[in-house]
Structure 1
Amino acid sequence: MSSQRFAPEFKEEAVRQVAERGYSVPDVAARLGVSAHSLYKWVKAASPDRTEQQSKELLEARSEILRLRAEMRRVEEERDLLKKGRAVLCQATRVKYRFMNEHRHDYAVTLMCRVLRVARAGFYAWLHAPVSDRDTEDARLLELIRDSHAASHEIYGARRVFGDLREVGETCGLHRVERLMRRHKIRAVRGYRKPRPFAGRPSLIAPNRLQQAFTVDAPNKVWVTDITYIRTWQGWLYLAVVLDLYARKVVGWSMKPTLSRELALDALLMAVWRRKPDGRVLVHSDQGSQYGSDDFKRFCAAHSLETSMSRRGNCWDNAVAESFFSSLKKERIQKRIYKTRALARADVFDYIETFYNRTRRHSHLGGISPEAFERASA
C-alpha cells in the first residue's frame, strides 16, 4: 500500500494517535488500515518537528519564568523601599534626595527615582550642591532670629522679631520669619506656663467605688459632694453641698469665706444630722484637699460613711454635683451681683431650701421636685 494515497491531515492524525494518545504503532496501523512500516516512517518523520516545537515552547516558558522572577524582584524592592521611605513621600524634593543618598548602596538610583517620583538628573545635581543658597540664607536668618528672641527675654513674636531684623538692614519678609520660627518652635512666652494635666489618674486615698452609677433605688445609699465658688464684692464665698442620688436632693450644705476642711465637714455633718442613715452610706467626692484630709476620713469612719473619689481631672465621675452647680449658677447666681457675702448666703439658701428641694421640677425625677419624689416613693 503506497503512502502517497494518504493526505497530510490523515498522516498527522495517525501520528497523533501514537504520540499523544499512547496507542502502539501496530494497533493504530490495524485500526486505520495502513502498514505498520509506513506508520513508523510517519512517526519518525514527524518526531523532529515535534521536538523542535517542544523545545521552542520550553524556551518560551523559561523566558516567561525569568521575566516574572525579575518583575517579582522589582516589586519586592519597591515594597521594601516604600516601607523605609514612607516618611519622605510627601516631603520636599531635597528631603527625598537626602534619603536617596543614605540608601544609594542598598537600592538602585533609578528605582528610588521612580518610586519617589524625582528626577535622576536632579539627584546627581544635588549631590554636587546639597545645600541650596536659600537654605544657607535661612540658616543665617535663623541665627539673627534666635538672637532677637533671646534679647527680648523670649517675649517677642514673629512681628516684633521681624521689626528687629528690618532695623538692622535685613530685607526678608514677615512670612519667612514666621515660617522659620514655626519650624524651629520659637514662640513668645508670656504669663505663667500652663500646668501639665493629670487627667484620668486614679485617687490614692480612696478608690472610685461609684463608677458613674448615678441611679440609686433607695435613699441614703449614695451621697455626692463637691465645692464651688461664688463671687461677691467682699471676695469669694465657698459653697459645699451634699446630694442624695436617689432623689437628687441637697441634704447638706455649708458656706464659708475660706476654703478649709471645715467647709466639707460641716456640709457632711448637716447631711448626717438631717438624714440619720441607719446603714452604710457611700460618699463620693473629687480629689480636693478638703476630702483627703485626716479629719474628713476620721469623720466618715466614725459615722459609717464609705469614701469614694473621682479620677483626677475627670468631671464626669461627679456629674450630678457638677450639674447642680451649673443649675444654681445659671438660674440664680449669674443673674445677680452680690455686694456682701451675707446677701449671697441668703440668696443661695433660698435657692436650695425653698426652690430647688421643694419646688423646682427635676427632669431626672419625671418633672417633680426632690421632696415630692421622696414623699411619693415613701
Structure 2
Amino acid sequence: MTKTRKNYTREFKLEAVRLLETSSKSASQIERDLGIGSGCLGRWKREFAAEGEHAFPSHGRLTPDQEHVRQLERENKILRQERDIPKKSSRHLLAPKPMRFQFIKDQRDEFPVTLMCKVSNVSPSGYYAWRKRPPSVREMANRELVEKIEIVYNDNYGVYGSPRIYRDLKDQGVACSENRIARLMRLRGLQAKQSKRFKVTTKRNRAHPVAPNLLKRDFEADRPDQKWLADITYIATLEGWLYLAAVLDLYARRIVGWAMSDRMTSDLTIAALEMALLQRQPEAGLIHHSDQGSQYTDQSYQALLKDHGIRPSMNGVGTWYDNAPMESFFGTLKSERVYHLVYHTRDEAKTDVFFYIESFYNRRRRHSALDYLSPEAYEQLFCQQALTFA
C-alpha cells in the first residue's frame, strides 16, 4: 500500500505553531499529539518567524502586484533583522568565536542563522562544525562559571559588579580571577546598577543654634560607635512622599538607626536616633554629624544628644560632601532598589526599605570601603581582633 503524504491547511499550521509557543510540552511531544511528522513544527516555526502573516500561502498563485509587495516586505524584514542583530550581539562581536557561535545558537529561533553568521563575521560552515564538535574543557569551565556568576548576581538583586562577585565566589572556594569574571559578565550583558546623586531635603532654621564641624570630612573611625552620620532622604510612592531618616556608624558603614514617616519633622529624626541609642548604647564622647536642617538643630533633638554625652557636629552651609558617606548610602539605596520599583503605598515602600537595610545592606552587601566585607562581617572581625589582643 502506497503511503499518502499528509497535507495541512494554513490554519492548522498557524495553530500548531501557536500551541508550540504557549505550551510547556516539547516540539516532539506536540508532533506526536497532533500526528504530524518529526521536524515539521520546527520548519513551520521558522517559516512563521521569517514570513509572519504571509507564511503558509495557499496553493493559489499571487498576482504580480501581490508578489511585488511580498518581495518588498521580505526585503524590509531582512533589513530590520540586519539592524536588530547588532543591537543584541554588540557585546559578542569582538568575543572569541565560540562565544559568537553560542549567541547564534541562542538566537536561531528569532533570526536566520546565515544572516547572524554574516553579521557576526563567522561562516555558516564554521558554526555548524562547532555545533557538532564537543565543547572544550575551557568552554565547559566558562559555562559553569557563568552559572555561578548569574546566581550571585541575581541573589544580590543585580547590584554586584565583578569585584563583589569575585569575592563572593572566592569565599565559596571558586578559583578564578576578577578579570575573567568581568569578561564573562560583559559577554553575558551583566552590569551592576549605577548610583545617582540625590538632592538635599532638609532646610535650616536660622533661629536654631548651629554646632561646629567636628568631623571635618575625616571619615575614618578606629572602632564602632566613634562617629555617627545622620540625614534624611525622600522616596516617591503613588500615595505621596515617604521620608527616611537614618543614622550611619562610620566604622562599618552600618545603618544603626532609621525611621520612616510621611512627614519630615524632628519626630522622625528623633525616632531614628532613639533606635540607634537603643541598639548600640554608645559611650560618651561619640561625634554625631549632620547637616544644619531644622530637624537636627531642634531643641529636643539636641537635648537627646546631650543626655547621652554625644557631641554634635554639623556641615557647613551648602557643603553636602561634608556628609558624603551618608549621601553614598542613600544613593546606593535608591540606585540599587528604589529606582527600580513602583511603590503603590507608603506601607509598601516601608516594608521594602526595611528589608533592604536590615536583610541585605547591613548583613550581606559587600562594601568597597570595608575590603569588600559586609558591615556586619566587618564589625564581627573587629570584635574577634579585640578579643585576640585583649
In which range does the TM-score fall when normalised by the shorter chain? 0.3 to 0.5
Larger radius of gyration: 1
- What TM-score do the two structures reach when normalised by structure 1? 0.46
